[in-house]
Amino acid sequence: MSNIALYTFGVLDPAADPAAMDDFSTRGPKIFSASDDAPGFLGRAGGDGDGYTAHEPGEDFGRWGIYLLPLGLPDFAGHDPHAHIATLSLWRDVESARLFVYNGLHRESLKLRYDWFLKGPWPGHVLWNIEDDVVPSWSDGVARLEALARDGESAQHFTFGSRWGRA
């Protein structure tokens, strides 16, 4: 049996309306709190129940590894990849992660993502199977997102919409 790791990455839009960014900042802690209570949620890098906090490359997350950025993604078109949001979480299965992502407050927020984030030529998330006793690392998430962008979907790196991401 295995669990599912989920890594997300987005570059914030420097031209975003300040009111939209205030809305994003207000929603973030609420979404993290909702994930803590979601069925099938097993944990996330960054602590339990601490809401959103900014992270810097090189920051040590203990068992989740050292925080780094996916700088091997396709062209950032002159935008600063350091102005980003990334998450790393662990779920019991794909369906548990999907139910959280595509329902409730997260779904409402997902509809507004291009008010906050650039629409780049890179994927916004990647999923992969991980053994029950293993905690995903930031380096795993970055490598798998970069591989997904470069090579497309496979059993080792996929999205919710792929055949590997369907329950």
Residues 6 or more apart from 108 whose CB is under 8 A from it? none
Hey, what are 16's tokens?
């975003």
Question: What's the farthest any 2 CA atoms get from each other in the chain?
Answer: 45
Collapsed DSSP state (helix, strand, coil) of residue 54: coil
Q: How many domains does the chain fold into?
A: 1
pLDDT the model gives residue 99: 95
pLDDT the model gives residue 150: 94
Cα gap 164→141, rounded to integer Å: 17
Residue with tokens 């470069």: 150
pTM of the model: 0.91
pLDDT the model gives residue 47: 58
Which parts of the chain have pLDDT scores under 50? Answer: 49-51
User: What CATH number does the domain containing 78 carry?
Assistant: 3.30.70.100
pLDDT the model gives residue 50: 46
pLDDT the model gives residue 49: 45
Q: Which domain holds residue 101?
A: 2-165
